A and B are shown apart, each in its own frame.
Chain A
């Protein structure tokens, strides 16, 4: 957790430097993100696929857990949208 906070702080301090930002234009950063997030998701797929705890129980508990996750996401999304509408 500390690593993540430190990386965000270092990144945002460097982002204030004009010389650094000249090199990392929005287009470059978007391309970096596209490549890195593709590989990150690929590795996530690999680590989930090779995790026996997840794969062995998918048949018995998969549907229940999927529904629970969708419920939580829909719940949070609907509450947020409702609050946003109330305020604006």
Chain B
């Protein structure tokens, strides 16, 4: 609970700063955002390797663990399908599925969907995937507690290997951290192909 409050606090302070001081060029000039992310990723690697044995690495090749990216895709499709037929009647079922197949990779999916399905869909894809990343980052303590560590990796989607990694790291053991990096990388590479296929098919 304390973690959750800290994370929400950090985010809302940042959000309020954007309203109060909209022109802080210092952040963008030195690309502070990326520098901190790179440090975080470096320390993830550092804390990951410590005591991993070959046997533990072999365990990573089990089917259950290799399935995590597939679970992320099936879950996202299923979730958006159910939402589109229940609460969100104003949005087409296929549109909802394609938007959620961005899997948190908002920089690519918003531009791609905007080009192929219209500007408003692009904006919706941007917002949805930004929200997905944020909810996983901030809500990681809750997801880990109620659904377990695999759920944390699969719900992070393509962001499991970059921006969400430092946040989900606390709730994973060392071998699961490898799963998270692998799953995130596979999905980051797969998202452009999946979206292209979906747009071509529908």
A residues contacting B by CB (< 8 A) are: 1, 3-5, 7-16, 20-21, 24, 26, 29, 32-33, 36-50, 53-54, 57-58, 61-62, 64-81, 83-84, 87
Contact = CB atoms under 8 A, between A and B. Distances in A.
B46 A45 contact: no
Chain A interface secondary structure, helix, strand, loop or mixed?
A: helix
Contact of A76 (B38, B43, B138, B154): B154
Given A11-B45, A48-B14, A79-B74, 8 more contacts: A8-B181, A45-B13, A61-B123, A66-B131, A69-B131, A72-B79, A79-B71, A79-B154
A81 B148 contact: yes
Contacts of B37: 40
Nearest to A45: B14
Contacts of B155: 72-73, 76-77, 80
Chain B interface secondary structure, helix, strand, loop or mixed?
A: helix
B18 A50 contact: yes
A80 B43 contact: no
B14 A49 contact: yes
B43 A64 contact: no
Contacts of A39: 10, 36
Most buried by B among A9, A39, A41, A48: A41
B126 A80 contact: no
Given A61-B127, A81-B151, A43 B80 contact: no
Given A54-B130, A76-B75, A64 B124 contact: yes
29 contacts: A4-B161, A5-B185, A8-B44, A26-B47, A29-B46, A36-B43, A37-B167, A38-B10, A39-B10, A40-B163, A45-B17, A46-B18, A47-B33, A54-B130, A57-B123, A61-B120, A64-B88, A64-B90, A64-B124, A67-B87, A69-B100, A69-B132, A72-B132, A72-B155, A76-B76, A77-B143, A78-B75, A81-B148, A84-B150
